Amino acid sequence: MKSFNSIQTNLRYIWPYIWRYRKWSALVILFVLLKELSVLGEPLIYRQVILVFESLFALEITHDLAIQKTIFLIIGFVCLQGLVIVSNGLMLHFTNRLDASAMRDGANDFVGKVLNLSFRFHSERKTGKLAKEFARGVNGIEAFLDAFVFNLIPLLIRLTVIFIVYVVIEWRIALVLLVQAIVFCVFTIIASIKMQHRRDTANSFDDEGSRKAMDALMNAEVVKYFHQEQEEIKSFKKTRQVWKDNKQYEWDGWKWVSSGQILINVSSVVILLMIAIPLLISGDMGLANFVLVISYLGYLVGILWDFQHHVRRLQEALTDLTAFFSYFGKENEISDAASAKTLEVKQGLIRFEQVQFAYQGSSGVFEDLSFTVPAGKSVALVGPSGVGKSTIIKMLYRFYEPTGGYITIDGQNINEVTQQSLRQQLSIVPQETALFNETVAYNIAYGTKAVTREQIETAAREAHADELIANLPQGYDTLVGERGVKLSGGEKQRIAIARAFLRDAPILVLDEATSSLDSASEAEIQLALKGLMNGRTTLIIAHRLSTIMSADLIIVLSDGGIVQQGTHEELLEHGGLYQKLWELQAGGYIE
């Protein structure tokens, strides 16, 4: 029952792709029908040849007439072969296009769906598992469609035609055929269902192995620092061993299924011959019909044997597609309202009004958070680690939504505007700069449309990144490696700052924008950032307090809310948590 439900569920997702390319789908079915009817026409030619020679030997026709009929039948046979070749070629032609288009659309829809899921989903997902499910799911679309095109539809056509012919010749033979087909198919389907659990288990450990491998490879530097190569290899081997055991069990199961199928087919052939041979001997069945029965039996056994292979592929595809399409049913935690408008920023005034927030399954981070970031001014958020500074940024970006209260920009509730228009007005220099394995120029221009090389280079100069880029092997065309592995932390941060210069958004977010820079570089970048911040509403997260001394307002967070706010001088004058942090740090870094 689980497999039938799986077929129904997956067909619901695949059907739109089939319907989208319904002309190709219809042509595929048409040429499958033509091919199968042409193939099934061959034994009828053999039957007619035997009848011609029986008539000749019985002196019912002349020698010349027998030759004429034989030539006519040979021509008919050649035409049938030509029709098989042409219909098979056209079937493959349109099947290839249907498969490729459905796989492309499925991949596009998967990536589109997953990328648009909420930030919480991406923060909790396992990349290796997701990548495996994506690859298997796309291939599963092809396997699912091909199982129908190359076996299930041809099997249905052959069963129908052969059953009708057998009924006309001898009903008992038709009954044997019907029982054989039903027993064979039911046996194969039940066996595949029994082994589905093993494939599910194998897939889960395949996913886990991929996750472990990607974790180790992406953190190869850390692995080497702690000399954990052998431990990581051992852990990976353990998951692959469990995968191997379950996969081998599944494959061994198919070995016994194959033996059972052979037994069913052999038994059916023996029973059929026990019926047909006496009829042939008694004269109740002619030699021509006997040959036709045996020929069709061979055709049926052949496609039933293929049925085992395709059911196995279909079962694998169903398992893979179930995981693949499970993402299509995921609800986006944060969606635009139907009446959402485009955010219009004229000044850039940000207000947090009685904001409450708590992570799932934990106590509240904020209970009644209210503050204002004046238009064109800079506000810094400071406080011990874990007080929610980064959470404030994520709420501003609508990665998370407050559980109470609201956030406005120029009086517009950000929950009532589109996420796209909101984020177009924001630019960020994050603490951990993530870069794509593309060129330096690509990474600087990322998120900004229709920019020239000159604009990219200008942004790099403003970020004081032009010298380091000039020293790279191919300059702006240098590939930075996975997640920017070819660049140092400071170099990556300069690229991020250049990206912010180029984006030129009215609201700027600096999340430890100079944390990876040395003192000399920091002095240069501070000058650059001062120019970038000029006239822009700027929200700053800082651990290094020396970097926010000139902020227009400093907000000190602790215990779920604001405990102090003021300028650097005012906060030092009044004492409290800020002064303690300053003294502990002595111009350095808050631990």
Mean pLDDT of the chain: 84
Q: Residue 586: helix, strand or coil by DSSP?
A: coil
Q: Residue 31: helix, strand or coil by DSSP?
A: helix
Residue-wise pLDDT for 359-376, tens only, equals 876 666 788 899 999 999
Q: pLDDT value at position 130?
A: 82
Q: pLDDT value at position 518?
A: 63
How does residue 520 score in pLDDT terms, banded at 50, 70 and 90?
low
Identify whether residues 306 and 371 lie together within a single domain. no
Domain boundary among 269, 293, 326: 326
Q: pLDDT value at position 72?
A: 92
Identify whether residues 303 and 189 lie together within a single domain. yes
Residue-wise pLDDT for 158-203, tens only, equals 888 888 888 888 888 889 888 888 888 888 778 777 776 666 777 7
CA–CA separation, 445 vs 459, rounded Å? Answer: 9
Residue 274: is its pLDDT beyond 60? yes
Is residue 518 in some structural domain? Answer: no
Residue 515: is its pLDDT beyond 80? no
* Number of domains making up the chain: 2
Alpha helices by DSSP H, listed for 342-439, are 389-396, 419-424
CA–CA separation, 417 vs 13, rounded Å? Answer: 31
Task: Tell how far CA 288 is from the center of its chain.
Answer: 55
DSSP string, 249-286: HHHHHHHHHHHHHHHHHHHHHHHHHHHHHHHHHHTSS-
Alpha helices by DSSP H, listed for 148-170, are 153-169
Two structure tokens written together for 97: 């296009």
Identify whether residues 248 and 345 lie together within a single domain. no
CA–CA separation, 509 vs 533, rounded Å? Answer: 10
Identify whether residues 306 and 387 lie together within a single domain. no
Given a contact cutoff of 8 angstroms between Cβ atoms, the answer to whether 84 and 17 are in contact is no
Is residue 532 in some structural domain? Answer: no
Say which DSSP state 451 is in. Answer: -
List the CATH number of the domain containing 90: 1.20.1560.10
Q: pLDDT value at position 517?
A: 62
Is residue 108 in some structural domain? Answer: yes
Identify whether residues 374 and 246 lie together within a single domain. no
Given a contact cutoff of 8 angstroms between Cβ atoms, the answer to whether 425 and 396 are in contact is no
DSSP string, 80-99: HHHHHHHHHHHHHHHHHHHH
Identify whether residues 312 and 345 lie together within a single domain. no
Domain boundary among 278, 294, 326: 326
Domain boundary among 301, 326, 351: 326
- Which carries the bigger pLDDT value, residue 128 or residue 583? 583
How does residue 422 score in pLDDT terms, banded at 50, 70 and 90?
very high
Residue-wise pLDDT for 297-347, tens only, equals 888 887 777 777 777 777 778 888 888 888 888 888 888 888 999 999 999
Is residue 71 in some structural domain? Answer: yes
Say which DSSP state 117 is in. Answer: S
Identify whether residues 414 and 275 lie together within a single domain. no
- Point out the least confidently predicted range of 43-52, 237-246, 424-433: 237-246
Is residue 450 in some structural domain? Answer: no
Neighbours of 401 (CB within 10 A): 15
Given a contact cutoff of 8 angstroms between Cβ atoms, the answer to whether 27 and 90 are in contact is yes
Q: pLDDT value at position 587?
A: 47
Closest CA to 103 of 136, 130, 72, 56: 136
Residue-wise pLDDT for 55-71, tens only, equals 888 778 888 898 898 99
Two structure tokens written together for 280: 């042939």
Is residue 91 in some structural domain? Answer: yes
List the CATH number of the domain containing 362: 3.40.50.300
Q: What is the CA radius of gyration of the chain?
A: 36
Q: pLDDT value at position 4?
A: 56
CA–CA separation, 496 vs 459, rounded Å? Answer: 10
What distances in angstroms separate CA 82 from CA 153, 284, 301, 377, one per listed residue?
21, 35, 24, 80
Q: pTM, whole model, 2 decimals?
A: 0.76
CA–CA separation, 552 vs 535, rounded Å? Answer: 12
Q: pLDDT value at position 591?
A: 44
Q: Residue 556: helix, strand or coil by DSSP?
A: strand
Identify whether residues 183 and 321 lie together within a single domain. yes
Q: pLDDT value at position 306?
A: 76
Q: pLDDT value at position 588?
A: 47
| Beta bridge partners of residue 554, listed in sequence order | 380, 566
Identify whether residues 272 and 372 lie together within a single domain. no
Identify whether residues 11 and 39 lie together within a single domain. yes
What distances in angstroms separate CA 237 from CA 53, 82, 232, 248, 572, one per listed residue?
68, 53, 9, 16, 57
| Beta bridge partners of residue 406, listed in sequence order | 353
Is residue 588 in some structural domain? Answer: yes
Is residue 523 in some structural domain? Answer: no
The residue segments making up the domain with residue 580 are 341-425+537-591
Residue 41 burial (C-beta neighbours within 10 Å; 0-12, 13-18, 19+) = middle
Identify whether residues 244 and 95 lie together within a single domain. yes
Identify whether residues 177 and 110 lie together within a single domain. yes
